A and B are shown apart, each in its own frame.
Chain A
Amino acid sequence: MIYALFADMAVADNGSRQGKVRLTKWYSPYTQKERSKVIRELSGVILTRGPKLCNFVEWRGYKVVYKRYASLYFCMCIDQEDNELEILEIIHHYVEILDRYFGSVCELDLIFNFHKAYYILDEILIAGELQESSKKTVARLIAAQDSLVETAKEQASSISNIIAQATK
């Protein structure tokens, strides 16, 4: 089972490699404090690792699988028994779908459309398990949701709706 996923950015200026988290998803309960602690620790562990090393880190009895895409690291925290290669593939799978959706995804896409990144993630993973392995299906579902949102927005912004709410 995947416990957590986050994507953070490595800022490599003046030697201090510090991550800024762009996306987190937790598949088991943690308090806010624990979360920030986990992120801080893992950033420290992962961002300091050089290139050409293996993509797995043991951390507190869990394993962390990470992969770097440009300046963005995707990390997943998994059980000891989980298959690391499978997780790597899931990360890649996710990135590919993002890429397909945004059209050569870049970090800005994730910053400004963070909610979509989450929606896509939710299509792929459920409770820390891979749910949908077809990229096409995910793309189709996301597109359907987008159109739903569009219609809802149009409705909500119509003036009659506002008046109806106000006089309720």
Chain B
Amino acid sequence: MAGTSIMETLFQRDLDDLIKGIRQQQIKESLFISKAIEEIRREIKSTDLPTKSAALRKLSYLSSLHGADMSFAAFHAVEVMSSPQFFYKKIGYHAVTQSFNDDTPVILLITNQLRKDLNSSNQFEVSLALECLSRIGNVDLARDLTPEVFTLLSSNAVRVCFKRLVENLESSEPVILSAVVGVFCELCLKDPRSYLPLAPEFYKILVDSKNNWLLIKVLKIFAKLATLEPRLAKRVVEPICEFMRRTEAKSLLFECIRTVLSSLSEYESAVKLAVVKVREFLVDDDPNLKYLGLQALSIIAPKHLWAVLENKDFVIKSLSDGDYNIKLESLRLLMSMVSESNVAEISRVLINYALKSDPEFCNQILGSILSTCCRNLYEVIVDFDWYASLLGEMVRIPHCQKGEEIEHQIIDIAMRVKDVRPALVHVCRNLLIDPALLGNPFLHRILSAAAWVSGEYVEFSRNPFELMEALLQPRTNLLLPSIRAVYVQSVFKVLIFCAHSYLLHKENISSVNTDNLASEVPESVFARMSCENSDLATSEAPASSEQHDSFNPRNINQSFGDLSIENGGDATVSNSQASTSASLGRNSFTHESIVNLFNIVELALGPLSRSHDVEIQERARNVLGFTDLIEQEILNPVVQGEENLARAETEASRVVKLMCDAFSEELGPVSTSAQDRVPVPDGLLLKENLADLETICGDIQLPLSSSFSLSSTPLGEAVDISRTNLQSKDETEPSHESTSLLAEHRKRHGLYYLASEKSEGASNDYPPANDPMSQDKLNDDAEDLLKLTEQSLAPKKKPNQAKPRPVVLKLDGDEISVAAKKPELKDDLLSGVVQDVLLGNDGVPSSSRSNRSENLSGKSKGKEKLSTDLSLETKENVPGEKMPDHVNTSSRRSKHRSHGKERRQKGQGKDGEEKEDNGQKEKRKSNHHRGKHKAHQRADEPLNVVAQTPVIPDFLL
């Protein structure tokens, strides 16, 4: 064995040989690698550490560059890692870091090794272990090793390190200085507040340094600091302006511009200068500068819109730039310019532009128009009729893929803005009626929204018959079932509306004023309706129509008695609704047209009642049931005598009215937080375990279905039900109940009203119906674009707001949570130490530290939060009993903090930790007192950077 070991050592290929071999490529690379791995597999089993480590090293190389699997070597890596010699240890650590993950079984073996190395006196070993931990650390390792890491953190190493860093800010060596500034630049990004005291040093660099690399970093630091301390901003603004005026380096110039625009935007003159420089960027030929110029503008846009407006010509010109990035940036800027007065023009320009741009950018444009317009509940939109037609236009853009977004907005504005409904229904009608749109799957969702809107607000439709034809056109079979179901539901609504209008129209003529009575009898009819439906489900349709012929008269007899007692107050809603359409109803709702309508519906939905999709099937049958129910009375008035006719009509109109009422219930937008605001009643105990919910639900559903299914037994029983229902309808409750039931059903199945997918490329063969922009032809040139927006972008107010902005329904939940993000107190240990170093000079460490703890107890919230945060974290990761462990660690932390101060706690072991914790508190308290005391003595010391506001002395003055 020893012999082979020596041989192996002697003739083992080391890493260099391996790399050379791969590069020489005498044989195929993959073959070479698999050979090498076989070799490694053999060598790595060697007991000789050098051989083993060399093999491991080769394996690491192959794994990192050629993706070789090194999981088989996991245990060997652990072995090498535990070698006392640094050279091998390093190889081992490297391999472990590279290959271990949570699934590696032997990861549990390294905990102790890591702990040993973390506690090692050799700082390089410590750093190896730390680096390894940072890469592969998992929950277990973190739990076991956190104390060690905390020990390291609170050790003097970090403190000393920071002191050095600060000292080096005055270094004359440029390399050191740039490294130090680099460090602080990164640190400042994370937690600028802690470094505020260093402002004088940075300022000195800013003024003195000639090194542009350095200046850029310092400027970045000041960009962060200046927002925190206004006096600092005032101080730096002048030098920065000076840089802007004289520097040649574009990178520095850009950094200055960005600093001014982002952090010093209150300084008018500086901003003006910066904007001038931005303009120089914009007119430059270099696309990089152009891009950055646009970006700078978008930084400033929210605060100083004039800067954007001043450069609007460039912005619009770059919309047609060859570079996608530049186009995108200018689009963003353009959208930031949008206001109430110019939204129409900008949108028109952009839509024209979208028509001839490539699909990707086209959708980008559409997307940004949509998102800008709906911002803050459509706050920029005054004329919603225009917006509705704009949405309609978007659909007709060939590349439009924004189906989901447009769908959402169509429904949203329909629900929120009452005044827009007529226009929106018109737009939707145009969409629905176009057979070409059905061929584009991307638009199906929009069509579903359109169908919903035109069904829901059918009373605004100019021609419901036409709408019905659109909804039933043969090409609807291209739609997804879920959208088709929406169509069918809309057919139902439109049908009811037509029947209702027709009856109303008739009644008006014969001046029979029975409609007031009708609305009171929903439940009976409702029940009957469902009878019909289930009848349909079981038997043939013609049979059912025969049935109700016979039982209707009875119902009517019964209901007449009740009806005569009541004076319909409920009918007002439907009356008012009907009156709007009554006028047009007069000319269009003739007997023939209604008959025709019923025929169409039955013809189109007949096949659907056998659809495989349950939703379509059910809805189609609902509709068919309804038509069967009423067509007899409506359509055959001539056969019966006058009296009979009147009765029949009443019956039919009653049914129709009922349905009409049911559908005229408004569906408002519901805030997402609505549920939360329902107060929990006293004494309500919510069950944790909802497993028995199923049985309860089953109980509820069972009676429902059984009562409905009764009707599948023929005639006699069905009449019984209707009779009992009729009796019960004496109370007013049930009548409402049925409507609300229906409404609830719709709400519950609201999902089905809108859902589906999208796809690609609309055909554009149908001329846009009512677009104001078809007049302006598609202009090809950026110059034209420019001209178009010239007026619109001018910040003048347009006086043509003849009609006031309609009300947009708002919900509490809609409040856009702008809530200025509180700068998180990243009060971690590191910055704590940093503050220590920065604030207290190390000559008086104890006082500075006690000051710190005073700080902590002074704003104990921050501190408390920190510790709870920590414990929460562990709670999440580690269940239950691990908690105390953690408390220990945090107490240990504080121990370490005070440890340096008064070396009292040395002797205390782990078992005394609970006590220690208490003692700790007391100590902190005492620190607190002492700290206060000290603070009195040295009031001028800049300690409470966070707690009290501007205790920072005038560093720069």
State which residues 79-113 of A face B: CB under 8 Å: 79, 81, 83-86, 88-89, 112
Whether, in the assembled complex, B686 has its beta carbon less than 8 Å from a beta carbon of chain A, the answer is no
User: What sequence of 0s and 1s flags, for each residue 27-67 of chain A, a beta carbon within 8 Å of any chain B beta carbon?
Assistant: 00100100000000000000000101111111000000000
Whether the Cβ atoms of B6 and A166 lie closer than 8 Å is yes
> Nearest residue in A to B98 (C-beta to C-beta)?
A32
Against A, the Cβ 8 Å flags (1 = close, 0 = not) of B231-255 are: 0000000000000000000110011
Which B residue sits closest to A79, measured CB to CB?
A: B189
Q: Which of B901-929 touch A at CB < 8 Å? A: none
> Which of B64, B216, B322 is the most central at the interface, judged by chain A CB atoms within 10 Å of its CB?
B216
Tell me whether A133 and B178 are in contact in the complex, defined as CB-CB below 8 angstroms, given that A1-B186, A55-B288 are known contacts.
Answer: yes
Instruction: Judge whether B218 is part of the interface by a CB distance below 8 angstroms.
Output: no
What residue of chain A has the Cβ atom nearest to residue B326's Cβ?
Answer: A54
Interface positions of B from 186 to 223, Cβ below 8 Å from A: 186, 189, 211, 213, 216-217, 220
B279-309 residues with Cβ-Cβ distance < 8 A to A are 286-288, 290-292
Closest to A57 in B: B325
Contacts of A86 in B (CB 8 A): 213, 216, 251, 255
Chain B 141-179 against A: per-residue CB contact (8 Å), 1 yes, 0 no?
Answer: 000000000000000000000000000000000110011
Residues of B within 8 A of A167 (CB): 6
Q: Counting CB contacts under 8 A, is A165 at the interface?
A: yes
Do the beta carbons of A32 and B186 come within 8 Å of each other?
no
Contact between B23 and A112, CB atoms less than 8 A apart: yes
Determine if A137 and B175 form an interchain contact, defined as CB atoms under 8 angstroms apart.
yes
Question: How close is A79's CB to chain B, nearest CB, in angstroms?
Answer: 8
CB-based contact B174/A133 at 8 Å? yes
CB 8 Å contact bits of B603-646 with A (1 = contact, 0 = none)? 00000000000000000000000000000000000000000000
Residues in B whose Cβ lies below 8 Å from that of A50: 322
- Measured between beta carbons, the chain A residues less than 8 angstroms from B290 are 54
Whether the pair B9, A85 counts as a contact (CB closer than 8 A) is no
A146: interface (CB < 8 Å)? no
Residues of A within 8 A of B64 (CB): 32
In the complex, the chain A residue whose C-beta lies closest to that of B328 is A58
How far does the Cβ of A148 sit from chain B's closest Cβ, in whole Å?
16
Given the interface pairs A32-B67, A83-B216, A126-B179, the reply to whether A56 lies near B288 with Cβ below 8 Å is yes
B350 CB-CB contact with A under 8 Å: no
User: With A126-B179, A133-B178, A133-B211 given, is the CB distance from A85 to B326 under 8 Å?
Assistant: no
Across-interface contacts of B178 in A (CB, < 8 A): 130-133
Question: A83 to chain B: which residues have CB within 8 Å?
Answer: 216, 220, 251, 254-255, 258
A131 touches B179 (CB 8 A): yes
Is the CB of B950 closer than 8 A to any CB of chain A? no
Known contacts A85-B251, A86-B251, A129 near B220 by CB under 8 Å: no
What are the residues of chain A within 8 A of B288 when measuring CB–CB? 54-56, 84-85, 88
Bound Cα distance A162, B500 (Å):
105
Task: Say whether B50 faces chain A, with CB atoms less than 8 Å apart.
Answer: yes
Given A81-B189, A85-B288: A166 touches B325 (CB 8 Å cut-off): no
Residue among A85, A134, A137, A167 with most chain B CB within 10 A: A85
Known contacts: A126-B182, A166-B6. The answer to whether A54 contacts B287 by CB under 8 A is yes
Query: What is the bound-complex CA distance between A133 and B258, given in angstroms?
Result: 23
A130 B182 Cβ-Cβ under 8 A: yes
A127 to B185, CA, bound (A): 12
Contact call A54/B291, Cβ cutoff below 8 A: yes
A112 to B255, CA, bound (A): 38
A contact residues around B291 at 8 Å (CB): 54, 56
B323, CB-defined interface residue at 8 Å: yes
Cα distance A68–B202 when bound, in Å? Answer: 35
**A129, B185: Cβ atoms closer than 8 Å:** yes
Please give the distance in Å from B579's CB to the nearest CB on chain A. Answer: 56
Q: Which residue of B lies closest to A115 (CB)?
A: B19
B747 CB–A CB distance under 8 Å: no
Shortest CB distance A90–B (Å): 9
Determine whether B135 belongs to the interface, using a CB cutoff of 8 Å to chain A.
Answer: yes
One digit per residue, 1 when the CB lies within 8 angstroms of any chain B CB and 0 when it does not, for chain A 118-148 equals 0000000011011111100100000000000
Q: Cα distance A134–B174 when bound, in Å?
A: 9
A156 to chain B, nearest CB (A): 10
Asked whether B10 is an interface residue with its Cβ less than 8 Å from the other chain, the reply is yes
Tell me the complex Cα distance, A85–B281, Å. Answer: 12
List residues of chain B with CB within 8 A of the CB of A129.
Answer: 179, 182-183, 185-186, 217
Query: How many residues of A are counted as interface, with CB atoms below 8 angstroms from the partner's CB atoms?
Result: 34
Give which listed residue, B10, B185, B220, B258, contacts A162 with CB less than 8 A.
B10
**CA–CA, A119 and B157, complex, Å:** 28
Tell me whether A130 and B213 are in contact (CB under 8 A).
yes
Min CB gap A146→B, angstroms: 16
Contacts of A85 in B (CB 8 A): 250-251, 254, 288, 292
Contacts of A130 in B (CB 8 A): 178, 182, 213
Residues of B within 8 A of A131 (CB): 175, 178-179, 182
Beyond A85-B254, A133-B178, whether A29 also contacts B135 by CB under 8 A is: yes
The answer to whether B292 touches A84 (Cβ under 8 A) is yes
Q: Do residues A52 and B10 form an inter-chain contact, with CB atoms below 8 A?
A: no
CA distance A129 to B64 in the complex (A): 24
Q: Which residues of B contact A165 (CB under 8 A)?
A: 9-10, 50
B287 contacts A53, CB within 8 Å?
yes
How many Å lie between the Cα of A112 and that of B25 in the bound state?
13
With a CB–CB cut-off of 8 A, which chain B residues contact A54?
Answer: 286-288, 290-291, 323, 325-326
User: B864: shortest Cβ distance to chain A, in Å?
Assistant: 32
Tell me the complex Cα distance, A167–B6, Å: 7
Bound-complex Cα distance A45 to B500 (A): 60
Alpha-carbon distance A26/B292, docked complex (angstroms): 26
Residues of A within 8 A of B322 (CB): 50, 52-53
A112 to B23, CA, bound (A): 8
Q: Is the CB of B255 within 8 A of A53?
A: no
Q: Give the nearest-CB partner of B99 in chain A.
A: A32
Q: Which residues of B contact A133 (CB under 8 A)?
A: 174, 178, 211, 213
Residues of B within 8 A of A88 (CB): 251, 288
Q: Which residue of B lies closest to A85 (CB)?
A: B251
> In the assembled complex, which residues on chain B have CB atoms less than 8 Å from the CB atom of A84?
254, 288, 292
- Distance of A82 from chain B, by nearest CB (Å): 8
User: In whole angstroms, how far apart are the Cα atoms of A1 and B190 in the complex?
Assistant: 12
Q: Which residues of B contact A55 (CB under 8 A)?
A: 287-288
Which residues from B are CB-within-8-Å of A132? Answer: 175, 178
Q: Once the chains are docked, how many angstroms separate the CA of A167 from the CA of B5? A: 10
What's the minimum C-beta distance from B6 to chain A, rounded to whole angstroms? 5
Nearest residue (CB) in B for A129 is B182
Q: Write out the residue numbers on chain B whose beta carbons fall within 8 Å of the beta carbon of A137.
A: 175
Residues of B within 8 A of A57 (CB): 325
| Docked CA distance A58–B294 (Å) | 14
**A27 CB to nearest chain B CB (Å):** 11
CB of A58 within 8 A of CB of B175, answer no
Query: Hey, which chain A residues are within 8 Å of B186, CB to CB?
Result: 1, 127, 129
- Chain B contacts for A126, CB-based, 8 A: 179, 182
If the complex has contacts A1-B186, A86-B251, are A81 and B325 also in contact, measured as CB distance less than 8 A? no
Give the Cβ gap from B9 to chain A, nearest Cβ, in Å: 6
Q: How far, in angstroms, from A111 to B446 measured CA to CA in the complex?
A: 55
Tell me whether A81 and B179 are in contact in the complex, defined as CB-CB below 8 angstroms, given that A29-B135, A54-B290 are known contacts.
no
Q: Cα distance A23–B653 when bound, in Å?
A: 81
C-alpha spacing A26/B323, complex, angstroms: 28
Q: A32 vs B70: C-alpha distance in the bound complex, in angstroms?
A: 13
Expressed in whole angstroms, the minimum distance between the Cβ of B650 and any Cβ of chain A is 67
Chain A residue numbers with a CB within 8 Å of B67 are 32
Query: Are the C-beta atoms of B325 and A89 separated by less than 8 Å?
Result: no
Q: List 9 A-B contacts (CB under 8 A).
A: A32-B63, A53-B287, A55-B288, A58-B325, A83-B216, A85-B251, A85-B254, A129-B183, A131-B175
In the A-B complex, the 8 residue pairs with the smallest Cβ-Cβ separation, listed nearest first, are: A85-B251, A129-B182, A54-B287, A54-B291, A53-B323, A86-B251, A54-B288, A133-B213
Given contact pairs A32-B64, A79-B189, a sample of 14 additional A-B residue pairs in the complex whose CB atoms are under 8 Å apart: A1-B186, A29-B134, A54-B326, A55-B287, A56-B291, A56-B292, A85-B292, A88-B251, A88-B288, A126-B182, A127-B182, A129-B183, A129-B185, A133-B174
